[in-house]
Structure 1
Amino acid sequence: MANGSRQAAWEFFGAELKRRREDAGLTQSALGVQVFVSGGYIGLFEQAIRKPQLDVAQRLDEVLQTDGLFERMWRKLIKDQPFTEYFAHAAELERLATEISDFAPAVVPGLLQTPEYARAVFLGSNPFATDEYIEDLVRARMDRTLLLKDAARPVYWAILHETVLRMPVGGPATMARQLDHIVAMAHERKVQVQVLPFAAGAYSPMGKMMWLMEFEDAPPTVYTEAVFSGNLLDDPAVVKRTQASYDQLRAVALSPEASLDLIDSASEEFRRCASTT
């Protein structure tokens, strides 16, 4: 399903939610209380600005007595996503964000990956997959990267732990090209990149990826990921604490200029290694 038709489908979801809510004689706030979200979020669902998670869709069916309608629509829309279920919501929000702040403790963020690097990542986590399956994943990943090439792209800030620069994902030649790509994107002013060096020692939050998104007409949200699972967090207190942690990382990371120098240096080391193999 193309992005435009998918958005139209979510708009239908929202329009149907509004119709069923009004038929039940409920305000947005009253429905929100019963499904454990704010009335404002019900309004965002109805406008297709935000997409409910599965448990919310299920509670909407229960409260509005719609015999599983919203769960079925939700599952259909998520199934048509080119991403895993737990990441699909984040991918939807990514396209709407005005600012994205990424912290990568071990792997190059998806928006900055080259096809070769992405292929190596997917092969590492799917060692018995077919070539066709891997290439489908790579295509979906590369489609995401187009976001940063758009004239209306979000402000994008990435902090990479030095581990990301040293781990030879895909081999030396692939790593050299990947790091060169990051530097090129920074020089083109499409991204702002900092590196958290090994010398920084302990940091907050140790080893955990963070992905913060801000929007023009919706509250900010945070995405975190674990093994075969992901969480979208939009509780204001949680978002505030996460933003504070990200600000701490910015403070202890190398400056953008020193970071690019370090990335360049790591790339050159990989190039020398590739030339001797």
Structure 2
Amino acid sequence: MCSDASMTNAKLTMWREFGSEVRRLRLQAGMNLEKLAPHAGVSPQMLGAMERGTRRTQEDVARKLDVFFATNGALMRRWSQALRGESDPEWYQQVTESEEAATEIHMYHPTLIPGLLQIEAYALVVFRDSGPLDSAEEHQRLAQLRVKRLDALIQANNPKLLAVIPEEVLRGHVGKESVMQQQRERLVRLAGSERLRLLVVPRGTPYLGGASGAFRVIGSQGGPPIVYAEHMSGGMIIDDPQDVARHQAIYRELLSWALPPIASIDLIRTMDE
């Protein structure tokens, strides 16, 4: 079963940071919700919902708060960032929501470097080729959105990352050869920093269980593992226990065919010699 219940929450995620800043300013001023609400022109209940990020903050309310707290436009800039965030694609909203509490993420993609590990130049080619109707500006925005996700995860909860990558993907051609070289160097650096355990499945491996598509198994302390499965138009969250178990079984089989970590890194290095 695919979970769609997170969609509403995902679309409101970008307002949580704004609401947290409003709450910080309110507490700094020594005010409770009842005292601040009249200055914002809303009820205490609505103000509380805005602080929790469960309600969008209207522009006039944000302006009143910006003036009241004398932030000289800083709060309005945060409001603008939250508003722009509403245009982020569904795949980004879903992934952000599902990975917020992740303690480990296991990644696999049969034809590309997993999105979390892509450099911007690599991601730009991927979005350009898969979004022929989008503008160049949109391609750039999506690429930047994708590559900043890893740093955000590391800063937030630093989950353990494991990636299984087919050798053909590492030797593939995404953009110029210089892009592939930079991408491989990035993978080696991440693996060397111990932020990532990287395993390569050698060419000629007969196992085809992962050929059906890209997916991530996301584990957390707060609940059972879930799967984020990618497709051409984005992706979907899978939380049905049987479906999750099936993806986990495929991942275990991929691990059994992969080279050990040191051998995997050595193989990647030989590609640029």
Identify the match of residue 91 of structure 1 among 90, 96, 105: 96
Greater alpha carbon shift after TM alignment, 106-115 vs 90-99: 90-99
Relative to the length of structure 2, the TM-score reads 0.66
Q: Tell me which amino acid in the other structure corresponds to 1:90.
A: V
Residue 177 of structure 1 is aligned with which of 173, 182, 189?
A: 182
Find the counterpart in structure 2 of residue 231 from structure 1: 236
Partners of 1:4 and 1:256 in 2: CA distance? 37
Pairing 1:199–2:204 present? yes
Question: Is 1:144 matched up with 2:155?
Answer: no
**In structure 2, C-alpha distance between the alignment counterparts of 1:121 and 1:242, rounded to whole Å:** 24
- Structure 1's unaligned 5+ residue stretches are 10-47, 49-76, 269-277
Specify the code of the residue in structure 1 equivalent to 2:232.
V
TM-score, reference length from structure 1: 0.66
Residue type matched to 2:256 in 1?
Answer: A
1:6 to 16, 24, 28: 16
| 2:119 matches 1:118 | no
Matched, 1:165 2:170: yes
Matched residue of 2:134: which SS?
Answer: coil
Deviation larger for 122-131 or 239-248 = 122-131
Identity of aligned residues (%): 32
Root-mean-square deviation over aligned CA pairs: 2.8
Structure 1 residue 80 displacement after superposition: 3.7
Partner of 1:198, secondary structure, is: coil
> Corresponding residue for 1:214?
219
Q: Secondary structure at the match of 1:245?
A: helix
Aligned to 2:247: 242
Say whether the 8 Å CA contact 1:95–1:147 is kept in structure 2: no
Kept in 2, the 8 Å contact 1:78–1:85? The answer is: no
Instruction: Give the equivalent residue in structure 1 for 2:109.
Output: 104
What letter is aligned with 1:205?
G
Q: Secondary structure at the match of 1:107?
A: coil
User: How many Å separate the matches in 1 of 2:241 and 2:268?
Assistant: 35
SS at match of 1:224: strand
Deviation per CA, 1:10-47, whole angstroms, max 9, x where unpaired? Answer: xxxxxxxxxxxxxxxxxxxxxxxxxxxxxxxxxxxxxx
2:194 aligns with 189
Contact 1:118 1:138 in 2 (8 A): yes
SS in 1 for 2:107: strand
| Cα pair distance change 1:220/1:78, threshold 3 Å | farther
Q: Secondary structure at the match of 2:228?
A: strand
Q: How far, CA to CA, are the matches of 1:94 and 1:170 in structure 2?
A: 29
Matched residue, 1:134: 139
Structure 2 gap ranges (5+):
1-10, 20-51, 53-81
Q: Distance in 1 between matches of 2:225 and 2:210?
A: 19
- Deviation, structure 1 residue 104: 1.5
Give the greater-gyration-radius structure (CA): 2
Number of residue equivalences = 203
Alpha-carbon spacing, 1:267–1:147, altered in 2? closer, same or farther (3 Å): farther
Aligned to 1:251, what secondary structure does the other structure show? Answer: helix
